[in-house]
Structure formats: structure tokens, C-alpha cells
A and B are shown apart, each in its own frame.
Chain A
Amino acid sequence: MRRVAARAVAHACLLLIAGAIAFPVLWTVVTSFKPTSVLYDANPFAAAPTLDHYQSALASLPVGRVVLNTALVSAAVAVGQLALATLAAFALTQYRFRARPAAFAALVGTALVPQPALIVPHYLMVSRLGLLDSYAGLVLPQLASLALAVFLLRQHMAAFPDELIEAAHVAGASNLTILLRIMVPNLRPVLSAVGIVVFIQTWNEYLWPLLATSGMDRATVQVGLRVFQTEQGQAWGPLMAAATLVALPLLIGYVFMQRRVTDAFLRSGID
């Protein structure tokens, strides 16, 4: 009996939290469909829904462009970090050399440096290289936060069964072949987990894209939405439509890959 009561209380609390978390998103979507005349009415069904706000949002916010930019940059950072960290983890686990602890410390030590504190030198570097407003300029400074990737991949590679590696050596495989043909395919779960985590982390990055881009050409979703907001002022209807449009793609992706995404975060937490 007490257990039933506890269960009921727990669900009541959890549903309350779920409601509080989902509300801003739902309210944004609801508002985006409300005609301007009833925008401030708390009743979501005060008038027939309209697509007007979407039309005016799409007229000045290149949604496809900013979503594509964000996706490209996030994917490039994720793939770049994976490539660098996989190679480094291979060196750190398969070779013994005097500088190994120092190399490991240098790579994992990046966790001690807060990325936003480097905006001044990053800006100087990227602008001197003429890379402002370019994908390369967006990606480069974000490549170095390798701590998580190196840490997890090293752990998994160290646990990799030596028999498999030896067998390949005996068969005459080179180290690179062993890495690419034997280790990487077997490490796919952890690679995809790290990739997903880094992708989402980069998707959330706001400060650097804000500095490294101007205008919509290379803007990420957040920067694009901010530019749109500055231009449109307090036009809440179009703004809510724009927010819905830029938030949607990743949420749709999440619906389809739900298990893999949460598993990725689960994995990066325990390992």
C-alpha cells in the first residue's frame, strides 16, 4: 500500500517536471500558429491557426542555410576530433615511449582550459588567417577540446584483446591496417557515442560562432536566430515560428535516433 502511494507521488512529481520542461517548447509552437490578433491570449485555441508567422520568418531567416551550416560545422568538429583522438589513443596504447605520460597529459589537460577564455587569441588567429566567416574558421578552434574523446578511446583501446592484434601482426598486417581494419570496426559503439556527444556539444556552441561570423552566410542556428531577432524587434509571432524552425531539425533527428543518442550520453558518463 505504501509502495503504491510512493509510486503515485513519484509519478506526480515527475509529470510535473516533464510539464515544466516541455512547456516553453510547446508554448513556442502554439504561439507560432496563433494569429497576431490573439497572440497575447492565454487560450491556445482562441482563433484558427495560421501559417502567417512562418511565412514572414522564412522571408528573412534562411532556415535551411543556418541549419546546414550548424550541421556541417558540428559534423566536421565531431569527425575531426574522432580522427585525431583515435590516432592519438592508438599511439598511447600500442606504443611505449618516454614522452607517453606527457603526451597523454597534454591531450587530456585540455579539459582544464575553458574554451571561452581563448576567444581573444582565437579571434586574432582566425582573422589573421583570413578565415572569419568561413567553415574552417568556425571549426578549427573547436577541434582541440580532445579530452573526452582521447580519454574514452584510450580506455577502450587499452582493453582491446591483444590476441586479435597479435593474430593480425602474425598475418603480416601493418599497424595502420590493424587500427583501421580491426580496432576501429570493433570500437564502433564508443566511436559513435563520442561522435554524438561532440556533435551535440558543438551544436550548442554559441560564443565562437557569434564572433567568427557576420550576417547569415555562415551563421549557425543560434546566431541566425539572434540576427533575425535584432532585425525584427519584438515581433513575437515570427520569432516563435523562427525558433520552432531552427530547433526542429535536431529534435526530429533525436526522435529517430533516440536510443543511440541517450545511450551515447549514458556511455560517456559511466566509462
Chain B
Amino acid sequence: MTHTRTSPATSAPTPTTPPAAPTPAASSVPARAVRGPAPYLVPALLAVGLTMYGPLLAVTALSLFDFNLTTQTPRWVGADNYREVFASPETGTALRNTVAYMATILPLSVLAPGLAAIAVWRFGGRLTGFYRTVFFLPVLIPPAVGAVMWQWIFNPVLGIADAPLELLGLGPVSWLTQPVSAFVAVTIVAGWKVFGLSFILFTAGLTAIDANVMAAARLDRAGEWQLLRHIVVPLLRPVTTVVVFATVVFVGPWTFGVIDVLTQGGPAGATSNVYYLLYQLGFGYVDGGPASALSVLITVGFGAVVAAQMRLSGRRAGR
């Protein structure tokens, strides 16, 4: 490893010279920098190596063995675990649900908070602080705790969620035991949880919009609607990418807690997602091999989605 401090003044020794732009121009090694970057870099690299990349390699290797996470000595089985995972109908259901969760939560995590953020930004007035506080609350209530609160609302027969339905003359709905309504219930709670996070991110994007641009457009007699369509929405595009990214990253883990409390993946896998299936394989059936294989598949899929998203947003930014 060769190293030199990148500081402009080492290459421009006279203090009166204005400092050059901090371009990585080669410079002489000052005596005090001899020790190099290693001591600063090694702790972080060690941490990610030991708790991220190491385990990633380990799980890839383990996916070729049969083991039970405790006593059994691992037995080589080759690609059998993958075959088992692919053959299992549970995998298909969990994968479809994961995609379906993503698709149904996106309106609640991108569209709705985006519109709400614009509305608060334009019309919030004295209530701006109030809206921000309330919208943000669920971000601070951990998923399993929030799910327990909602469970009481969805409680069949006695829960309050049936009150409006009863007014319409509809009977009590057994929310969490019917496949579709259980899926909807999980989506509602997960959406409730991510809404505030997206709202704050959009608010950040909006405050970054130059007031001059808006004023200039208004001088040109642009209507409120035109402003929104031609200025605000295009300027929000980078933030939207961040929000979609945040949704992809957070929806999986946050939905996990909601599923675990409300449905445990049921009825008949209707509300399971890939993380919940992984948890059941590894720690319910203690079937380490297929669990590891599923881990590898999840990582590859997740990495592909994130990479594709980065590419897509990169191309858009390049335009």
C-alpha cells in the first residue's frame, strides 16, 4: 500500500499561495503521515469482514451441507438444498408475497407520503410542526409493538375495525384468518410504519427546492398545478429514488415483525415473505441447509434489485 496525504499545501509550501483544489495530485510524504491509513481503516474493514462478508461466505458454503444449527455434524449434499428450496411450494408463495408486499406498500410509502409532504409544504402553515410530529410517530414505534396495537384493532368480533363495517350493515370480518384480508392487514400496518419515514425524506427534498425557481415560475404566471407538474415533481425525482430505496430496504425487516405478531405467516402461508420463510426454515424447522440456500438466494435477489435500481437512477441522473 502506498500512501500520501492529499493536502494541497504539501505541494504548495508557501502559505501565501491560495490552496489548490483538493485534487488527488501526487505529493511528497510528510514525516507525520508515515503511518498511513491502515490504523484508521482496519477496524471498519475488520468489522464488515467478520460480521458481513465472512458470514456471507459461510452461509454460501453452508448452503451445500445438511445441518441443524446445533448438534448435527454438517453433511455434504451439494445442490440438494437449492433443489429442495426451489421445489417447495412455500418458496413460491413467499416470493410472490414479497413482491406483492412491495407493490402494495409502494403507494403507501412513496405516493401518499409524497403528496402529503407537498401538501404540508404548500399549505401546512402553523400546523406544519403538528403534521410532522404525528406522521413521524410510527417510525419510533418498533414494528412488533405497533403490530400489537393494530392487533387489538383487527381483533375479530370485538375489534374497533369492524365498527364502520357494522354501520354499513356488514358482519364482523375475521381480518387475520382470511388470506386476502390478512395480507391487507399486514400491508396496512407496514405502510403505517414507513409512511412517516418517506414523508420526512420528501420534506427534505422539498426544502432543498430553490425558492427563487418557484418565484420565477410564479412571475411567469405558472398556475399552482403547473408548478407542481413541471417544477416540483421533476425536482423531487432524486429524493423519490432514495424513498424507493428506503422502502426496499426497510419493508422486508419491518414487515417481518408485523407478520410475526399478526399472522405468523398464515393462513397457509398467505402473509409470509421470504424473510419469514427463512426464519421458519432455520429456527422453526431447524433445517440449516435449506435456510442457508434461501439466504443465498435472498442476497442475490436483493443485491440484483438494489443494483438495478442504482443503475436506473444513475442513468436518469445522467440524462
Which A residues are closer than 8 A to B by beta carbons?
A: 3, 6-7, 10-11, 13-14, 17-18, 20-25, 27-28, 31, 40, 42, 83-85, 87-88, 90-100, 103, 106-107, 110-125, 140-141, 143-146, 150, 158, 162-163, 165-166, 169-170, 174-175, 179, 200, 203-207, 210-211, 220-223, 225-226, 229, 236, 239-240, 243, 246-247, 250-251, 254, 258, 261-262, 265-267, 269-270
Contact = CB atoms under 8 A, between A and B. Distances in A.
B275 A116 contact: yes
Contacts of B37: 91-92, 94-95, 97, 100
Nearest to A206: B257
B59 interface: yes
Given A11-B123, A140-B51, A250-B141, 10 more contacts: A24-B150, A25-B141, A27-B160, A96-B3, A107-B44, A119-B279, A169-B32, A205-B253, A222-B145, A266-B207
B160 to A, nearest CB: 6
B299 A117 contact: yes
Contacts, number: 310
10 contacts: A94-B6, A96-B3, A117-B296, A165-B7, A166-B9, A166-B19, A203-B142, A229-B148, A258-B133, A262-B132
Closest 7 CB pairs of A and B: A121-B55, A91-B37, A91-B40, A88-B44, A95-B37, A222-B144, A269-B204
B232 to A, nearest CB: 14
Interface of B: 1-9, 15, 19, 22, 24, 26, 30, 32-33, 35-41, 43-45, 47-48, 50-56, 58-59, 62, 69, 112, 116, 119-120, 122-124, 127, 130-146, 148-150, 152-153, 155, 158, 160, 163, 192, 195-197, 200-201, 203-205, 207-208, 224, 239, 242, 249, 252-254, 256-257, 260-261, 275, 278-279, 282-283, 288, 291-292, 295-296, 298-299, 302-303, 306-307
A243 B254 CA distance: 17
A269 B252 contact: no
Contacts of B112: 17
